[in-house]
Amino acid sequence: MAAVKTLPARSEIAREHTWNAESVYPTPADWQAEYKAIEADLPSLAQFPDTLNQGAARLTECLDTIDALARRVEKLYFYAFMSKAVETTNQQAIGMAGQAAGLASRFSAATAFSEPEILAIGEDTITQWVKDEPSLNARAHYFEDLFRQQQHVRSAEVEEVLAMARDPFSAVDNTEEMITSADMTFRPATTSDGETVEVGQGNVDTFLAGSDREARRTAWESYADSYLGLKNTLTSNYLASVKRDVFYARARNYDSALSASLFRNNVPKEVFYNLINVFKQNLPTWHRYWAIRRRALGVETLNPYDIWAPIATEQPEVNYQQAVDWICQGLSPLGNDYVTALRRGCLEQRWVDLYPNKSKTAGAFSFGTYDTFPFILMSFDNSLGAMSTLAHELGHSMHSYLTSKTQPYVYADYSLFVAEVASNFNQAMTRAYLFEANDDPQFQINLIGEAMDNIHRYFFIMPTLARFELEVHERVERGEGVTADDLIDLMADLFEEGYGGQMHVDRSRVGITWAQFGHLYSNFYVFQYATGISAAHALSARILEGTPSAAEDYVAFLSAGSSLYPVDALKLAGVDMSTPEPVEKAFATLAEYVDRLDQLTR
């Protein structure tokens, strides 16, 4: 038997292909020095409790002090998190992450007094102080939102306890990552010519997107089986996360975990249920796609490991430089400033940790702070899909870049609800450019394949996970017992409905899909991928159709941060997510891709 091909060690990755860690802290020793400095500065917060009613100047001093320390704590946490993410077995990074999480919890507890005291001062007084004190003017929306949420803010003592609970509660997230990225092992995949190849979180997607069906099957089965082997541990950990959501919702007097998640960003419940209802109504479009895919692949029975298989007979090789160039071309309607910043980040400032290595965490993400670059972690494999992933994460990064450049720290973040708009917008714009730039049928089939892979993830997987998440939370809220087999059966049922009889369903392996998405550990996060891709296609269409000021409106949205509620920010850009229309239009786009694929493959 041939030797198993292995992933490179972290130390074997060229420096220019790694994230620019030294721009955050020159060395881990500098990180430790800053950790100690922040520890020494935390007691300075003790001067502020019970004094905020002394006037606008005192309130300003307190909030400015909190912001300054928050920026330092976030930067410290980010460095530790990113260091661990690129090498999850790095013991120094694991230790730093634990230190940072503990420090963040202590900081949260030390500042928990501020919002209850502000609320006690009263909205009328705060409004007058905002008018009288220029330094508070920029915080007007922050105060408005705080008083909107007043009914869910508890006393200073309770808020302190809830803040202290974040550290032990965060253990479930860390446990999920340690199990799946550090401790979980996978049996090798086998290619059609008998070669065995190592499977890891960083390369399983490459197997599934390959043309070798035996490699796809054995990699998919290996991946699912490793999760199934730990199904009871993973279930226990996930249910602890769900119970955490329910605990926080009840502690803050919400009627459900869903309400708690949506209220935080002032998103109406109708947005969630509109998505689920329109998704279920349009499942026949997905059923048609599975049938076309089966025919185009020439297989008698379609299996889940065939979902990402290339339909085109030739796949383009897309190196990193080419990927950056195409993305920049696609986004050129947004203007030179946008494109220049993006290109510089990719090619000069090392925003991107690019290639897979042993024990690198799964998937891809964009993450940074107000005082760092907006970094990206991914596993680039010179494919069109990798280019699409890069475009997606650069959407997040440029969103963060423009927000930090434009907004004060208090509004420098943005909600999960709008986060997936920018990412999917970048993919839609890049895809539209490539459809026009290359009319070769094989390239067009590949491009549709890339589009369908992305839409499948955001407009099939994520709504399905949202339905799963809703049901699990409601069962826990009703006090029902939930087992590993319950979760597997629920997930398998939902996928069988989505496949519509066009796909063979291995119920246990399909049913464990929920455990492969750490996104479920963020309370009702996944549905926002689907609303995000809906808004993204609506906004890209405005620009591609030549709507006056569409590009300027979109950049204004990217620059708004949290200075507006997310639904209002999207209205500023030109789309109203409080109605079903954007989701319905996104399904119309999906149907167009399915029609085009049908024609090209006949």
Which tokens hold the place of 466?
């949202």
* Alpha-carbon distance values, 409 to 74, 107, 280, 467, 563 (Å): 12, 17, 40, 35, 10
Reduce the secondary structure of 448-478 to three states and give it as a string: HHHHHHHHHHHHHHHHHHHHHHHHHHHHHHC
Grade residue 503 by pLDDT with cuts at 50, 70 and 90.
Answer: very high
List CB contacts of 112: < 8 A, sequence separation 6 or more. 156, 159, 160, 162, 163
In the prediction, which pLDDT does 206 show? 85
Buried b / exposed e along 285-297 (16+ C-beta atoms within 10 A) = bbbbbbbbbbebb
Whether 526 contacts 462, CB under 8 Å: yes
* 205 touches 380 (CB < 8 A): no
Three-class DSSP category at 387: helix
> How far is residue 334's CA from residue 398's CA, in Å, rounded to a whole number?
11
CB burial of residue 395 (10 Å; 0-12, 13-18, 19+): buried
Which residues of 245-392 form beta strands (DSSP E)? 352-353, 365-367, 375-377
User: Which pLDDT band holds residue 5 (cuts at 50, 70, 90)?
Assistant: low
Tens of pLDDT along 185-232? 999 999 999 999 999 887 898 899 889 999 999 999 999 999 999 999
Average pLDDT over residues 453-472: 96
Coil/strand/helix, residue 211: coil
Q: Which residues contact 151 (CB under 8 A, 6 or more apart)?
A: 253
Residues marked as catalytic? 393
The tokens describing 195, both together, are 């070669």
Query: Would you tell me how many other CB atoms lie within 10 Å of the CB of residue 195?
Result: 16
Question: Which residue shows structure tokens 């049996």?
Answer: 187
**pLDDT, position 260:** 96
CA atoms within 13 A on the CB side of 379: 22
Does the pLDDT at position 19 exceed 60? yes
Reported as a pLDDT band with limits 50, 70 and 90, residue 315 is confident
Tell me the pLDDT band of 314, cut-offs 50, 70 and 90.
confident
Distance in angstroms (rounded) separating the CA atoms of residues 517 and 508: 16
- CA–CA dist 78, 482 (Å, integer): 34
Question: pLDDT, tens digit, for every residue of 100-149?
Answer: 999 999 999 999 999 999 999 999 999 999 999 998 999 999 999 999 98
How many angstroms separate the CA atoms of 10 and 8, rounded? Answer: 6
> What pLDDT score was predicted for residue 1?
31
Instruction: Give tens-digit pLDDT for 484-497.
Output: 999 999 999 999 99
pTM: 0.84
Strands 352-353 and 375-377: parallel
Question: Which tokens belong to 378?
Answer: 């991914």
Q: pLDDT-derived band of residue 422, with 50, 70 and 90 as boundaries?
A: very high
Q: How far apart are CA 247 and CA 250, in angstroms?
A: 5
Q: What is the pLDDT of residues 56-99, one digit of tens each?
A: 999 999 999 999 999 999 999 999 999 999 999 999 999 999 99
Q: How confident is the model at residue 4 (pLDDT cuts 50, 70, 90)?
A: very low
Q: What is the pLDDT of residue 3?
A: 41
Structure tokens that stand for 123 in this block: 């909205």
DSSP state of 16: G
Question: What mean pLDDT do residues 423-434 have?
Answer: 96
- Which residue stretches of 87-170 are H helix? 91-111, 114-121, 123-132, 134-137, 140-148, 156-169
Going by pLDDT thresholds of 50, 70 and 90, the confidence category of residue 2 is very low
- Of 527, 541, 552, nearest in space to 575 by CA: 541
Of 502, 125, 490, nearest to 301 by C-alpha is 502
Residue with tokens 């249920």: 273
Tokens read off for 88: 């999850």
Strand partners, 375: 367
pLDDT, average across residues 547-567 = 96
The SS3 call for residue 375 is strand
Confidence class of residue 166 from pLDDT cuts 50, 70 and 90? confident
Selection from 273, 228, 204 nearest residue 467 by Cα: 273
Structural tokens at position 402: 């423009």
- Provide the pairing of β-strand 352-353 with 196-197: unpaired
Question: How much is the pLDDT for 111?
Answer: 96
pLDDT at 544 over 90: yes
Per-residue pLDDT, 181: 86
DSSP character at residue 478: T
**Residue 538 confidence (pLDDT):** 93
CATH classification number, 10-169, choose in 1.10.287.110, 2.30.30.230, 1.20.140.70, 1.10.940.10: 1.20.140.70
Q: Residue 167: pLDDT band by 50, 70, 90 thresholds?
A: confident
For residues 11-40, average pLDDT: 97
